[in-house]
Amino acid sequence: MYTVVDIETTGNGIQGNRITEIALYNIDGDQITDSFSSLVNPGCEIPAFITGLTGITTAMVRRAPTFEALAPQIAAFCEGRVFVAHSVNFDYPIVREEFARTGQVFQRKKLCTVRLSRKVFPGLRSYSLGKLCSSLEIPLRDRHRASGDAHATALLLQRILRHPQGGEIVRSFLNARSQEGTLPPGLPRASFQRLPEAPGIYYFKDQGGAILYVGKAINLRKRVLGHFYDTAEKERQLCRATSEIDFELSGSDLLALLMEAVAIKRHFPPFNQAQKNTRPAYGLFLYHDRDGIAHLAINRLRKGQQAARVFYSQADARLFLEHLCTEYQLCAKYCHLQEGVERCGHFRVPVCQGICRGEEPLAAYNARVADALHSLQPSGEHLIIGEKGRNAEEQGIIWIEDGIFRGYGFVDRDRSLDGLPDLEAVIEPQPRYPETDRILEAYLLKHPGRARRIRVE
């Protein structure tokens, strides 16, 4: 037993999306047995663009019953039935949210006629309701009104159920392990099923193969499935537009972070926002006070300023400065790790030779500050970080030159990299981006022992 549902809404995202019209058709076996439809007062104005699409105006619904008034009738109408809709992951969450506002739990098994149609009627150019009905010669009247669209969807479900393989396909979709009710309407199940439970990056693509979104994960399959359960409007828009999911294995989380950053900068996907926004940069600066004491300080980097070192996180900048102070026995007070104190006493910078207590000559202290800054100058240092490979027989390699990400590659686990020519032979060069600098900077500050030097001749 099935209830085919269609709704019209105010179009304000799932949390603010209110139903303006609802229609339900019950199907027993493969016969339509009953129907119900009603305008619904959403309790708010209907935007003009929604009125232009559906023809439903605020005046039309002003005297209509609220969803709360209709809820008992709707719940009884579809009690014990499978909730069916064309792109069910749009309609079902909104209906469930309307019930939740009334204090009721609405839970039904669900079927998507888009996904069913792709399986039963493969090879059609489009599976939108209008074009699908045209291809299958199903009458569709009152387009973009709940009753007309629900009736056409009910006729479509009848056609599916009467197909020789229809009943078997429907039963397979209703199997709790099939995940068919969770997947986006345009995504073939095989595209999701081939995702491994391993680290890497994934690409959401549209019907033409254009990349919509790039993400990274420790467990690709689990992370992608999380997108399908997310009820945020942006996630729902992404899922509705997705027709294919591709992936690349990374072997480790660090490599996945770098691969994701490079892919976002390279493809500029429309649904990626975080890494497309410019992060504020922070610089390490030197200045001398009136007593001639050299100060090191972290400040926001402004256009045109030259800093001794650039960071993309205040936390990373402070951690770096703590390491520098410890290595060169600098004063936490004059490195501005402690403010408003007469003498330093920083718990992570335990050694100060006494400049803040008047126990160290000014020239000696300033010389150590100069040594610390000199150590930040490019020195032609080449580092590699070894990571897990994509399988047990290989390892991932990340190449860093003077703190700059140069690229990555994968080599046999037993292969040794003894010099720069060996490294260049296996590394896939990558452009430098602030995001990759930030990722490696944060990693090396937290794991300073993970990188090793490569001999350069």
C-alpha–C-alpha distance, residues 60 and 421, integer Å = 75
Task: With H, G, I as helix, E, B as strand and everything else as coil, classify residue 400.
Answer: strand
Vertex 48 angle, CA 142 and 25, to 5°: 30
Asked if residue 186 has pLDDT above 70, the reply is: yes
Asked if residue 178 has pLDDT above 70, the reply is: no
Strand 2-9 relative to strand 82-85, pairing = parallel
Asked if residue 189 has pLDDT above 80, the reply is: yes
Asked if residue 197 has pLDDT above 70, the reply is: yes
Higher pLDDT, 204 or 280: 204
| Residue 123 pLDDT | 87
What proportion of the chain, given as a percentage, has pLDDT over 70? 95
- pLDDT (mean) for 288-292: 94
- pLDDT (mean) for 270-285: 78
Task: With H, G, I as helix, E, B as strand and everything else as coil, classify residue 299.
Answer: strand
3-state secondary structure 9-77: ECCCHHHHCCEEEEEEEEEECCEEEEEEEEECECCCCCCHHHHHHHCCCHHHHCCCCEHHHHHHHHHHH
Confidence at 301, pLDDT banded by 50, 70, 90: confident
C-alpha–C-alpha distance, residues 390 and 48, integer Å = 52
Question: pLDDT (tens digit, 9 = 90+) per residue, 314-358?
Answer: 888 999 999 999 999 999 999 999 998 999 988 888 889 999 999
| Residue 102 pLDDT | 92
CB atoms within 10 A of CB 155: 19
Confidence at 62, pLDDT banded by 50, 70, 90: very high
Asked if residue 248 has pLDDT above 80, the reply is: yes
- pLDDT (mean) for 49-57: 91
| Residue 419 pLDDT | 73
| Residue 347 pLDDT | 84
DSSP code of residue 197 = S
Asked if residue 381 has pLDDT above 80, the reply is: no
Asked if residue 76 has pLDDT above 70, the reply is: yes
Mean pLDDT value across the chain? 89
C-alpha–C-alpha distance, residues 84 and 180, integer Å = 12
- pLDDT (mean) for 241-263: 95
Where do the domains of the chain lie, and which CATH numbers do they carry? Answer: 2-174 (3.30.420.10), 189-276 (3.40.1440.10), 282-374 (no CATH), 382-453 (no CATH)
Asked if residue 42 has pLDDT above 60, the reply is: yes
382 is catalytic: no
**Residue in 144, 163, 267, 336 annotated catalytic:** 144
| Residue 51 pLDDT | 92
Q: In what order do the strands lie in the sheet with 404-412?
A: 428-429, 404-412, 394-401, 382-388, 451-453
Question: pLDDT (tens digit, 9 = 90+) per residue, 15-41?
Answer: 568 999 999 999 998 899 999 999 999
End-to-end Cα, the chain, rounded Å: 76
Asked if residue 388 has pLDDT above 80, the reply is: yes
pTM of the model: 0.63
| Residue 257 pLDDT | 95
User: Which among 384, 397, 382 has a CA at the least distance from the CA of 251?
Assistant: 397
**Structure-block tokens of residue 191:** 């595209």
